[in-house]
DNA sequence: CTTAGGG
DNA sequence: CCCTAAG
C-alpha cells in the first residue's frame, strides 16, 4: 500500500494525492498559475509555502528576491524590509520554526525560492490588490496589531519577536484572515496563546488538537474573538460549522499533514476535531484563503505580491476593510452551508483530513470550478486507492454550487477467510491475516465509483456529466475497491459483493473478519452507526440484486478458492462497496431500476448453468445461477455472447475473464447446434408425419 | 409467463 | 435495460 504523505486535501475524508488544479478564478487572477501547477504543490504545501513566503518575503525576500523590475515591488519590498526590521525576531522565528519543526524545513527554502520565482513572475502589484492575500493579512496584522503583539509578548513571556512571529505566522497562514482576527481578538487570542500555544491551536483548530499535538501555534486560525470563544467551547463537540482551516505556518503544516497520514492510516477520525476544523476554515479562509486552497495554492505568489503591495501604504486600511467585508461575507456564507457542513461533518471522515480537505476542496466552493470538480474526481480515485487498506467505505456526498464534496469514511476490508488449526498461535493468526490483507492490497487495487449502484466506468467524464455534482447524489454515490488485476478467481463474487454479507458465509472455514474495527474508527459521533447502517443497507439493497453468495459458494471452484486463504477470492472484486444510504433504497424505488452489473462470479455461475442446461431454459438457468435474483435475465447471456465475439479492446465495463468468454462461445455454439439439431429432428418428423 | 430479438 | 413479439 502506498500511503501518501500528503493527503492534503481531501475530500472529505480521504487523503488524496494532490493534483494541482487551478480554479478558474485562480487562473484569471494569477498569471503564474501555470507555475503553480508545475510545482504541483499540495494544498498544504502551498499554504505552508504561502505562509512561508509571506514571512520570508516580508523579512527576507524583499531584498533578496524582490523583483526589481517593478518599482512598486521594490517599494513594497522596502516597506516589507522595514517591517521585517521591526520584527526581526519574527524572521528569526520563522526560520527557526522551519528548521525546528521539520521535515519541511527544506520546504521553506523551496518556498522561498518559489516565492522569488513567483515574484519575478508576478505581475505588477496593482493586479493583485483585490485578491491581496495572505501577505496582507500579515501586513495588516503587523501594523494594526502591533499593540496586540505587545500583549502577546507579555503573555508568552517570550520576546516580542516571538509573538510577533506567531502573529505573523498566524496571519500568513490564514491567508491574512488571521491577521484580521488577531487585531480584533488580540486579547483573547493572546490569552490562548499565552496559556497554551498548543492548546490555543487546539481551541481554534479543534480538530488538530485531537489527533495531534500542535507544536506550533501557527496553525491558529484567524478567528475573530467571538468565534474563537465559540470554537473553544464547542471544540469538544463536533464542529458542524464551517471548517476551520488553519494555515499553519510551515511547521504546522507539516504536523497537520503527518497527522492526516496517521489518521488515515489508522482509519480513525475524531469527529470533534473535524468539526472544529471546519469552523475555523471559514474564518480563516478568506476568500483569499479559499482561493488559495481552491486553486491549490498556486496563487500564493500573487498573494505575496499583494501583500507587499498592501503593505505599502494606506492599503492596509483598505485591506483591512476588505477583510472585514470578507469576514462578514464569509460568515453569512457559513450560515448557509451549515446543514451541508453538518452532513459533512457527520460523516466519519477523518477529522483532520477533513479539515484540510475541506479546505482544499471545499473551502472555497465558490471558487471551485468545474475543472476542479473533475480534478476532484481524479483525486477521489486516487484517494480511494490510498485508503484502500482500510476496509469498508462510506461516502457522504455533498455538492454545493459547483463543487462536489465527497467524503469516504472508510473502506471496508473485504472478508477474509482464513483457516488455521486450533493449535495455531495467535501470532500465526495475525500473520495469516496480515498476509491475506497484504495479498489483497498488494495486488493492486483500483477504485470503482458507483452511482446509484451503477459503475461509472468512464473516467473521463466530469462529475457534472456523471451527475455527481448534485446533492441528491449523496446517497447514491459509492466507491468500491477492486483488484486491479483482472485476475478472477472463479466464482467469488465481485461487484455486488455478496461477501459483505456475514450471513453469506456458508463456508466451513473459520472466518476471521478482518479487523472490522478498522472501518469505522474514524467516524464521527453518529457516524459509525450510520456507516453500519449504510453498510447493511447497502448489502440489503444489493441483496436482491446480487446473487446469493450461497449459491456462489456452492461452486466447487468457489469453495476451493475460499479454502485457501482466500485472499485471492477476496480480491476478486469489489472488496467493499460503498454505501448507499437508506435513502438509496428509496431512490432506487423512485428511480426505477438500478443497474446491477454482473460480477465475474455471476458470469461464472451463468456460464456454468448454461453449459449444463443450455440456452433454451432460461428460467432454470437463472434459478440455478442467480437464485434469488429476479432481475437477472438472460440478457446477460446475450451480452456475453456479444462480448465474447468482439475484440477485447471493444469491450467495456467490468472485464470478463477470457476464459469465461471462451466458455460462453463454446456453450453458445454447442447449444445453438443442439437447438438446430432438435429443429432438424423435429422437421423431419413433421415431414414424416405430414 | 417465458423466450427471443431488437433497440 | 427496455420493449415487444411469439409461443
Task: Give every residue of chain A whose pLDDT is below 50, as ranges.
Answer: 1-78, 80-81, 83-400, 473, 486-592
Q: Tell me, in Å, how far CA of A617 is from C1' of C5?
A: 18
- The residue behind cell 457522504 is A396
Residue-level pLDDT at A683: 58
Q: Is residue A293 within 8 Å of residue A368, measured between CB atoms?
A: no
The CA-to-CA distance between both ends of chain A, in Å, stands at: 73
Q: Tell me, in Å, how far CA of A73 is from C1' of C6?
A: 84
Q: Tell me, in Å, how far CA of A450 is from C1' of B4?
A: 31
Q: Tell me, in Å, how far CA of A679 is from C1' of B2?
A: 19
Q: Tell me, in Å, how far CA of A617 is from C1' of B2?
A: 9
Nucleotide nearest residue A615, measured CA to C1': B3
Q: Tell me, in Å, how far CA of A635 is from C1' of B5?
A: 10
Q: Which triple of cell numbers denotes residue A284?
A: 480563516
Nucleotide nearest residue A622, measured CA to C1': B2
- What's the CA gap between A179 and A329, in Å, rounded? 17
**pTM of the complete model:** 0.25
Alpha-helix residue ranges (DSSP H) falling in A336-367 = 338-346, 351-357
List bases in chain B with any atom under 7 Å of a protein Cβ.
2-7
Q: Which triple of cell numbers denotes residue A25?
A: 478564478
Q: Which residue's CA is nearest to the C1' of nucleotide B5?
A: A638
Q: Tell me, in Å, how far CA of A287 is from C1' of B7?
A: 51
Nucleotide nearest residue A454, measured CA to C1': C1
Q: For residue A663, how far is the Cα from the chain centroid?
A: 41
DSSP for A72-137, please give it.
HHHHHHHHHHHHHHHTHHHHHHHHHHHHHH-TTHHHHHHHHHHHHHHHHH---HHHHHTT--HHHH
Residue-level pLDDT at A413: 63
Rounded alpha-carbon distances, angstroms, from residue A313 to A8, A79, A306, A560: 35, 9, 12, 77
Q: What is the number of H-type helices and E-type strands within chain A?
A: 36, 5
- What's the CA gap between A418 and A437, in Å, rounded? 11
Q: Which residue's CA is nearest to the C1' of nucleotide B2?
A: A619
DSSP E strand boundaries for A320-402: 395-400
- What's the CA gap between A636 and A547, in Å, rounded? 14
Q: Tell me, in Å, how far CA of A448 is from C1' of C2?
A: 26
Q: Tell me, in Å, how far CA of A613 is from C1' of B2?
A: 15
Cα within 13 Å of Cα(A200), Cβ side: 32
- What's the CA gap between A640 and A651, in Å, rounded? 10
- What's the CA gap between A30 and A307, in Å, rounded? 14
- What's the CA gap between A580 and A536, in Å, rounded? 9
Q: Tell me, in Å, how far CA of A615 is from C1' of B4?
A: 11
- What's the CA gap between A615 and A634, in Å, rounded? 9
Q: Is residue A133 within 8 Å of residue A302, measured between CB atoms?
A: yes
| C-alpha dihedral sign at A348, A252, A195, A283 | negative
Residues with Cβ < 8 Å from A553, sequence gap 6 or more? A491, A504, A505, A506, A507, A559, A562
Q: Tell me, in Å, how far CA of A672 is from C1' of B3?
A: 14
Q: Tell me, in Å, how far CA of A638 is from C1' of B5?
A: 10
Using DSSP's 3-state secondary structure scheme, residue A630 falls into coil
- What's the CA gap between A303 and A307, in Å, rounded? 6
Residue-level pLDDT at A483: 62
Nucleotide nearest residue A597, measured CA to C1': C1
Q: Is residue A535 within 8 Å of residue A412, measured between CB atoms?
A: yes
- What's the CA gap between A636 and A639, in Å, rounded? 5
Q: Which residue's CA is nearest to the C1' of nucleotide B1?
A: A619
- What's the CA gap between A170 and A90, in Å, rounded? 12
Nucleotide nearest residue A592, measured CA to C1': C1
List bases in chain C with any atom under 7 Å of a protein Cβ.
1-2
- What's the CA gap between A119 and A116, in Å, rounded? 5
Nucleotide nearest residue A614, measured CA to C1': B3
Residues with Cβ < 8 Å from A27, sequence gap 6 or more? A33, A295
- What's the CA gap between A174 and A651, in Å, rounded? 50
Residues touching nucleic chain B (CB < 7 Å) = A 615-620, 622, 633-635, 638, 675
Nucleotide nearest residue A616, measured CA to C1': B3
Nucleotide nearest residue A639, measured CA to C1': C1
- What's the CA gap between A358 and A275, in Å, rounded? 11
Residues with Cβ < 8 Å from A635, sequence gap 6 or more? none
Buried b (16+ CB within 10 A) or exposed e, A183-212: bbbbebbbbbbbeebbbbbbbbbbbbbbbb
- What's the CA gap between A505 and A567, in Å, rounded? 15
Residue-level pLDDT at A35: 38
Nucleotide nearest residue A632, measured CA to C1': C1
Residue-level pLDDT at A347: 34
Q: Which residue's CA is nearest to the C1' of nucleotide C1?
A: A595
Nucleotide nearest residue A633, measured CA to C1': C1
Q: Tell me, in Å, how far CA of A480 is from C1' of B3?
A: 35
Amino acid at each position: 500500500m502506498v500511503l501518501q504523505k500528503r493527503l492534503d486535501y481531501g475530500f472529505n475524508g480521504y487523503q488524496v494525492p494532490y493534483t494541482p488544479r487551478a480554479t478558474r478564478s485562480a487562473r484569471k487572477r494569477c498569471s503564474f498559475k501555470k507555475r503553480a501547477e508545475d510545482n504541483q504543490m499540495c494544498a498544504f504545501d502551498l499554504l505552508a509555502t504561502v505562509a512561508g513566503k509571506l514571512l520570508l518575503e516580508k523579512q527576507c525576500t524583499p531584498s533578496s528576491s524582490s523583483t526589481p523590475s517593478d518599482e512598486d515591488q521594490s517599494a513594497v519590498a522596502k516597506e516589507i524590509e522595514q517591517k521585517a526590521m521591526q520584527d526581526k525576531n519574527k524572521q528569526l522565528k520563522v526560520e527557526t520554526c522551519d528548521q525546528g519543526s521539520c521535515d519541511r524545513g527544506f520546504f521553506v527554502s523551496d518556498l522561498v525560492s518559489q516565492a522569488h520565482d513567483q515574484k519575478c513572475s508576478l505581475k505588477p502589484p496593482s493586479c493583485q490588490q483585490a485578491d491581496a492575500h495572505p501577505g496582507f493579512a500579515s501586513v495588516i496584522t503587523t501594523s494594526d496589531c502591533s499593540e496586540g503583539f505587545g500583549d502577546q509578548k507579555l503573555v508568552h513571556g517570550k520576546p516580542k519577536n516571538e509573538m510577533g512571529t506567531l502573529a505573523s505566522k498566524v496571519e500568513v497562514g490564514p491567508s491574512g484572515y488571521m491577521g484580521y482576527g488577531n487585531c480584533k481578538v488580540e486579547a483573547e487570542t493572546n490569552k490562548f496563546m499565552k496559556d497554551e500555544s498548543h492548546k490555543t491551536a487546539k481551541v481554534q483548530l479543534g480538530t488538530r488538537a485531537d489527533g495531534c499535538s500542535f507544536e506550533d501555534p501557527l496553525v491558529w486560525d484567524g478567528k475573530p474573538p467571538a468565534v474563537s470563544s465559540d470554537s473553544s467551547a464547542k471544540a469538544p463537540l463536533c464542529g458542524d460549522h464551517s471548517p476551520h482551516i488553519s494555515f499553519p505556518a510551515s511547521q504546522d503544516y507539516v504536523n497537520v499533514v503527518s497527522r492526516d497520514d496517521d489518521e488515515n492510516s489508522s482509519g480513525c477520525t475524531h469527529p470533534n476535531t473535524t468539526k472544529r476544523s471546519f469552523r475555523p476554515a471559514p474564518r480563516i479562509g478568506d476568500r483569499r484563503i479559499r482561493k488559495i486552497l481552491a486553486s491549490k495554492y498556486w496563487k500564493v505568489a500573487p498573494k505575496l505580491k499583494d501583500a507587499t503591495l498592501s503593505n505599502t501604504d494606506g492599503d492596509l486600511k483598505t485591506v483591512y476593510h476588505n477583510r472585514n467585508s470578507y469576514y462578514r461575507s464569509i460568515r453569512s456564507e457559513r450560515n448557509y452551508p451549515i446543514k451541508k457542513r453538518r452532513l459533512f461533518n457527520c460523516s466519519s471522515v477523518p477529522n483532520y483530513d477533513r479539515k484540510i480537505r475541506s479546505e482544499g476542496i471545499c473551502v472555497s466552493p465558490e471558487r471551485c470550478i468545474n475543472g476542479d470538480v473533475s480534478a476532484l474526481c481524479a483525486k477521489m480515485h486516487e484517494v480511494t486507492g490510498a485508503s484502500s487498506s482500510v476496509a469498508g467505505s462510506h461516502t457522504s456526498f455533498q455538492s454545493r454550487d459547483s463543487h462536489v464534496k465527497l467524503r469516504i469514511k472508510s473502506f471496508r476490508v473485504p472478508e477474509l477467510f482464513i483457516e488455521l488449526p486450533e493449535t495455531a498461535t495467535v501470532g500465526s493468526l495475525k500473520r495469516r491475516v496480515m498476509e491475506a490483507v497484504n495479498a489483497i492490497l498488494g495486488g493492486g487495487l483500483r477504485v470503482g465509483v458507483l452511482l446509484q449502484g451503477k459503475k461509472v466506468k468512464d473516467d473521463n467524464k466530469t462529475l457534472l456529466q456523471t451527475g455527481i455534482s448534485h446533492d441528491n447524489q449523496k446517497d447514491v454515490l459509492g466507491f468500491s475497491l477492486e483488484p486491479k488485476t483482472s485476475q478472477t478467481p472463479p466464482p467469488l463474487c465481485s461487484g455486488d459483493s455478496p461477501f459483505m454479507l456475514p450471513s453469506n458465509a456458508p463456508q466451513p472455514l473459520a472466518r476471521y473478519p478482518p479487523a472490522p474495527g478498522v472501518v469505522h474508527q474514524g467516524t464521527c459521533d453518529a457516524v459509525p452507526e450510520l456507516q453500519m447502517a449504510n453498510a447493511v443497507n447497502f448489502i440489503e439493497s444489493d441483496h436482491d440484486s446480487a446473487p446469493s453468495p450461497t449459491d456462489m459458494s456452492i461452486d466447487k471452484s468457489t469453495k476451493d478458492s475460499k479454502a485457501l486463504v482466500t485472499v485471492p477470492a477476496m480480491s476478486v472484486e469489489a472488496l467493499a462497496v460503498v454505501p448507499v444510504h437508506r435513502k438509496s433504497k428509496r431512490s432506487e424505488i423512485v428511480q426505477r431500476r438500478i443497474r446491477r452489473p454482473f460480477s465475474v462470479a455471476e458470469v461464472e455461475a451463468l456460464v456454468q448453468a448454461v453449459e449444463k442446461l443450455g440456452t433454451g431454459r432460461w428460467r432454470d438457468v437463472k434459478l440455478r445461477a442467480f437464485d434469488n435474483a429476479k432481475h437477472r435475465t438472460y440478457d446477460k447471456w446475450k451480452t456475453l455472447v456479444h462480448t465474447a465475439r468482439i475484440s477485447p479492446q471493444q469491450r467495456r465495463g467490468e472485464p470478463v475473464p477470457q476464459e469465461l468468454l471462451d466458455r460462453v462461445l463454446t456453450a453458445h455454439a454447442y447449444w445453438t447446434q443442439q437447438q438446430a439439431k432438435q429443429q432438424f429432428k423435429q422437421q423431419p418428423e413433421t415431414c414424416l408425419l405430414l
